[in-house]
Structure 1
């Protein structure tokens, strides 16, 4: 497998030993079947109900097909008509003409010397208000029936204009007879201009414009106070509302709204009968016509769906068994924790598909292409295995063709199945061996491009839809890939933390030299840093040779000796310009210092919250190996002092534990090999090969590989790979047979 699942304490998820429990495994497999069953049940199982006439329904009953609802249609039409706002129309009254008639009458009457002042006042008091009414009535008569305005509008206009008629103050009528013809001419010009300007706006209330008259008159050319006062009153008198409720237009609009109201239909999936509703005869007959009445029990569809779900599980479990055979595992190549993670990925992917399916309609079936169907495949690639992702892609494609089927008459709509398969495969190939989180976005873009291309190909092969639908379909397919990338980026940390997953992306982040611990290793113990890098190169090559996680070995090697930063001078690779301090201290103390670096390293890694697989490598790379040098030194000192040793070989062993994984064992071998090669001056290839086999044989005989499942065949591959890698790294230092013979001849 491409990724390494951390072996966290079993208490994290509940009971001890659950990761390898057969009962838990079968429970998880059963949950797979149930997940498939309930995901597909709403789409493939016919719904029937045990309904009795006259009784209340005990559940909601949904329509299996569309049906016209006349009653709801009539109600919808009434609602649409009520939503139409009242409509108003402008009537061009041209009240300037009325004003001109008033001024003409004033000029005529004021020049008549036979009429007394009192009579003139009385005439103005009676005629001017009547002229307003007569003008309105005449306007109605002239426009009635000519098609310019409808009768109801003219009637409304006449009523509103008369209601808003302005009442001229009494004192104004006494001022009017005193006006000369010249004054009237100037006043008429100003009054007509003001009325024309204010009536240019639409007015429902005349008073709104009348309040602006005084300001305009004061700004006019009239200088006499009396003239300005009379012009103000006459302008207010002539100003009329010109915007009126058009009842006929409003009624026409409401009729049009009713006509444009679409037919109300009970769509597929809509609730026909709500829980608690009484089953009337009409409802009963309608349910019968839909085939929703349960006349007899039929369990065959349920059995068929269960078998269908079981086949999905067989496909998945078959691959797990194949992985077991290839990996040499006991039951499957996957722990229960990994199977649980796979189940959760399936659940999230199917949940996302169902969420999108809820927004899908018969009129907009292309919404289904928005579903992030490649999300599951991408997560499986990064967290579990590429081959398992390919197998899962077929499962997701088949399920997608059922879930997004909007009524093609068949169980499957392979338009969606084909697109799901294409985007999943595109994402798998794009994200395979991803080493940066930006690769997820690139994989999402690839899924977008291939998804859009597959959808376009399907549309062009069939009946080409309208341009809008075509663009929307391709756009939804393109957006699906981007949505997939966003979801995967968001979900990756959740799986990494919850299941202790050390993904390739996380490993690459940890290998950054700017990590605080690696900076500390480089600045405080440069010799150990160089040693760790060399061990990383060796262990990665060896791990990949046997199918283990090479990237984990490399990154684990970077941190495996981090504990040496606590006492750097006591380790030989850091002793460059000073004497070895072990020469002057007790070998027991030296042993304690050397052994402590593994424990110290684990503590430092814990403090910096590095994942457990990295900590395991730091803790286990020495296993329980024997510190021969210090043991023999301590024995020699005891002999020289003439005392019996108060220690045994077990006291000079690392505390362990032994390597629990192949990766930890490989790092331990590479650590010893690198140190041995570094200590050799001008080694030959034969010496390097002999040294590697000696180290591996020594660890094998010391039972250091008993708990990590390394086979003899794999150890041989590791030896061969280490030899080839060392020759490549230390090429300039290794003497070849020709060089040895040349030196012998010179000697």
Structure 2
């Protein structure tokens, strides 16, 4: 190459950089994931809007409520069934149906035949004394009666005429029959008419007769209707009177009517059903409830009828406008919540599973609210309180408070309640949610439920007095709501293990259970790698103090520190804290092989954690506590050995780095710093405060320059606070001790 010649410029095609295929695929995958999440949220908005809309405007009036304004009919007209009048008319129609009786005319026919035989016997006899004594005693026949009948049958013609007249006289008795004593039940004895049919007749041919026509006491009366008809059948009234007297003495023992209970009940039921419902009309502008009047049962029925009529009268356009308004309001609420999540809860925004779980929880909670809407127990706060508490435990009280606001607002929209109900829901639930900052005991949730119950009680009384509601209603609502708030705490306490599994929640209770020394992994770590176990305990202590210093989850960091090096138990003697004597397993290994063994403890720890079902947040700490840091000792050793070999290949730094990922949370960043400074501090021959401070500052600054804390959210101020806390903790561990003189033996 000649001096002074300019190098040719590369073409624009050579200057343009194209993204690699993997970057394009990663970008497309993120876009698809974002699109799926947005589609899920859009479906949740539609489902929530449908639940809030329901079948139309909600019915907001309750028994015992006192409205602050006059309530009038707001529809053209509606009618309400008058149950009392309808029942009275139906009962009157049933009472008009007479008892159904079946007539068996055989006893009356027998009596007619015997009377006819008597007249024949008297016609054939010459005088009264010739008659049989049994016949006289049976008929109670007197001489004057004998003479009257004898005179009416003295010729064959008159005898035949009398036979015809007797048959005609018995027709009324055969048609109506005779009612015997006890034939009717007591409840039917007051009936003035009877429906009577013969045995061989269908029900449709039954005829109605006055009761006096069939009662023996009325039949035998000479001035009665039966007596008059009987006597009228004879041409000679005296003969009719004489024969009727004989018949009247024989009717008491010959009842012919039988009561038909089932037929009577059936006919009366038919009569009831034929009476149509009676409705009272109400027109637009008519007052239903006066201002300040307490809503009773009757007013509540009227309001419900008017509300149903108003919903039925809504046109398709009115329904569409209402649905559109609800959709816009629900969308705005979701956008507001989504903005909060994107700014302050990025873990939720970046995780489709968490987003799907929250969306499902919102839809289920509002669905339960809708199912409980028609109850008078104020149980609609149970799903709101439970959902808000679940989100506060799963993430943080701040997000739980946002969820409380959204769910309370959506509940009031679905139920059509006013600002008073919103204040009760928001105030009581927020009081419980704000107490869920750290759940380390089972009783904590019960105390939170009691706090929520107290909040519901106070807010119910406050809003009730403000809205001028009756004291009885306020007292009832307050007790119900306080009871449900307390039950929400018990429900959360009992269902917490299931919620932890379903939502991937790591509470203080589960962390304390994991930190128990009886855990199988910790027991195995003590047995196989006691030095690593001792290191983990120390790291946990100093990391917890540092986390508490900046307001992070100290308990999570401490328990994560207990498990962060469990992968070392598979090859414990390759790590310096477990090596005894002067034996070094790495002496005969190539630096690259030693690096693979050292780095491998992270993957082994993740595998062991998943085998023993450790929570994902603990596994994340195991995976991220080294980030992508460099295994410096073996990297420099490889470079040293490579320098002695001119033909050796170039050492790639990436081959001596941990696979990562870098710390993704503040707790993981704290654990990384605590782990490295605790390990390094053991190498100090004289751990004076100045040396400890210099070592800690150097190690943290090195990782800061290496970009290890770029993704965990730690600020420089917080890193400085953590550094100060770690320095103080290590100085406390390696503080100077008084040297006691050697104890002399006796």
Q: Give the TM-score range, shorter chain.
A: 0.5 to 0.7
**Structure 1 partner of 2:30:** 17
Q: Does the C-alpha gap of structure 1 residues 259 and 537 become closer, same or farther in structure 2, counting only changes over 3 Å?
A: farther
**Structure 1 partner of 2:618:** 614
- Separation in 1 of the partners of 2:670 and 2:459? 45
1:585 is aligned, of 575, 583, 588, to 588
Q: How high is the TM-score relative to the length of structure 1? A: 0.57
> What is the CA distance between 1:342 and its match in structure 2?
6.0
- Separation in 2 of the partners of 1:679 and 1:545? 26
**Structure 2 partner of 1:389:** 400
On the 8 A contact 1:367/1:473 being kept in 2, the answer is: no
Q: Does the C-alpha gap of structure 1 residues 421 and 155 become closer, same or farther in structure 2, counting only changes over 3 Å?
A: same
Equivalent residue of 2:735, what SS? coil
1:723 is aligned, of 715, 721, 727, to 727
**Structure 1 partner of 2:384:** 373
- Separation in 2 of the partners of 1:717 and 1:451? 41
**Structure 1 partner of 2:662:** 659
Q: Does the C-alpha gap of structure 1 residues 66 and 522 become closer, same or farther in structure 2, counting only changes over 3 Å?
A: farther
- Separation in 1 of the partners of 2:58 and 2:415? 17
Q: How does 1:58-73 map to 2 (within 5 A)?
A: 69=79
- Separation in 2 of the partners of 1:712 and 1:463? 56
On the 8 A contact 2:448/2:489 being kept in 1, the answer is: no
1:565 is aligned, of 569, 581, 585, to 569
> What is the CA distance between 1:718 and its match in structure 2?
2.3
| Structure 1, 429-438 or 625-634: larger mean CA deviation | 625-634
Q: How high is the TM-score relative to the length of structure 2? A: 0.57
**Structure 1 partner of 2:436:** 431
Q: Structure 2 regions of 5+ residues with no counterpart?
A: 1-25, 60-72, 96-133, 139-177, 196-260, 281-300, 740-746
On the 8 A contact 2:379/2:484 being kept in 1, the answer is: no
On the 8 A contact 1:699/1:705 being kept in 2, the answer is: yes
- Separation in 1 of the partners of 2:692 and 2:54? 67
Equivalent residue of 2:384, what SS? coil
- Separation in 1 of the partners of 2:320 and 2:568? 72
Superimposed CA distance per residue, residues 693-738 of structure 1 (whole angstroms, 9 cap, x where no aligned partner): 121233334454455455544432321121123234x1xx3249xx
Q: Does the C-alpha gap of structure 1 residues 570 and 65 become closer, same or farther in structure 2, counting only changes over 3 Å?
A: farther
**Structure 1 partner of 2:673:** 669
Equivalent residue of 2:687, what SS? coil
Q: Does the C-alpha gap of structure 1 residues 697 and 337 become closer, same or farther in structure 2, counting only changes over 3 Å?
A: closer
Q: Does the C-alpha gap of structure 1 residues 490 and 65 become closer, same or farther in structure 2, counting only changes over 3 Å?
A: farther
On the 8 A contact 2:627/2:663 being kept in 1, the answer is: no
**Structure 2 partner of 1:603:** 607
- Separation in 2 of the partners of 1:149 and 1:30? 71
Q: Structure 1 regions of 5+ residues with no counterpart?
A: 1-12, 48-62, 87-118, 124-135, 157-243, 275-286, 325-331, 406-411, 741-747
On the 8 A contact 1:440/1:489 being kept in 2, the answer is: no
> What is the CA distance between 1:417 and its match in structure 2?
1.1
> What is the CA distance between 1:686 and its match in structure 2?
0.8
> What is the CA distance between 1:425 and its match in structure 2?
1.2
Q: Does the C-alpha gap of structure 1 residues 261 and 344 become closer, same or farther in structure 2, counting only changes over 3 Å?
A: farther
Q: How does 1:95-494 map to 2 (within 5 A)?
A: 150-151=189-190, 267=305, 270=308, 287=313, 292=315, 305=326, 308-309=329-330, 312-313=333-334, 315-316=336-337, 319-320=340-341, 323=343, 333=346, 335-337=348-350, 341=354, 345=358, 348-349=361-362, 351-361=364-374, 365-367=376-378, 369=380, 371-405=382-416, 412-436=417-441, 439-459=444-464, 470-471=475-476, 474-475=479-480, 477-479=482-484, 481-483=486-488, 486=491
On the 8 A contact 1:33/1:313 being kept in 2, the answer is: yes
Q: Does the C-alpha gap of structure 1 residues 491 and 554 become closer, same or farther in structure 2, counting only changes over 3 Å?
A: closer
- Separation in 1 of the partners of 2:604 and 2:549? 31
- Separation in 2 of the partners of 1:313 and 1:583? 58
Aligned length: 556
> What is the CA distance between 1:582 and its match in structure 2?
2.7
- Separation in 2 of the partners of 1:585 and 1:76? 107
Equivalent residue of 1:606, what SS? helix
On the 8 A contact 2:33/2:352 being kept in 1, the answer is: no
On the 8 A contact 1:433/1:504 being kept in 2, the answer is: yes
Let me know the Cα RMSD of the aligned residues: 6.2
Highest Rg: 1 or 2?
2
> What is the CA distance between 1:346 and its match in structure 2?
6.1
> What is the CA distance between 1:482 and its match in structure 2?
2.0
**Structure 1 partner of 2:694:** 690
On the 8 A contact 1:532/1:560 being kept in 2, the answer is: yes
Q: Does the C-alpha gap of structure 1 residues 474 and 77 become closer, same or farther in structure 2, counting only changes over 3 Å?
A: farther
- Separation in 2 of the partners of 1:614 and 1:273? 54
Q: Does the C-alpha gap of structure 1 residues 429 and 530 become closer, same or farther in structure 2, counting only changes over 3 Å?
A: same
On the 8 A contact 2:663/2:708 being kept in 1, the answer is: no
- Separation in 1 of the partners of 2:373 and 2:320? 30
On the 8 A contact 1:373/1:484 being kept in 2, the answer is: no
Q: How does 1:87-98 map to 2 (within 5 A)?
A: none
- Separation in 1 of the partners of 2:718 and 2:330? 39
- Separation in 2 of the partners of 1:66 and 1:456? 38
> What is the CA distance between 1:604 and its match in structure 2?
1.5
- Separation in 1 of the partners of 2:511 and 2:89? 62
On the 8 A contact 2:393/2:505 being kept in 1, the answer is: no
- Separation in 2 of the partners of 1:664 and 1:149? 91
- Separation in 2 of the partners of 1:565 and 1:317? 44
1:699 is aligned, of 690, 703, 726, to 703
> What is the CA distance between 1:413 and its match in structure 2?
1.8
Equivalent residue of 1:690, what SS? helix
Equivalent residue of 1:699, what SS? helix
Equivalent residue of 1:657, what SS? coil
**Structure 1 partner of 2:201:** none
- Separation in 1 of the partners of 2:452 and 2:346? 29
- Separation in 1 of the partners of 2:708 and 2:609? 23
On the 8 A contact 2:396/2:437 being kept in 1, the answer is: no
- Separation in 2 of the partners of 1:454 and 1:432? 23
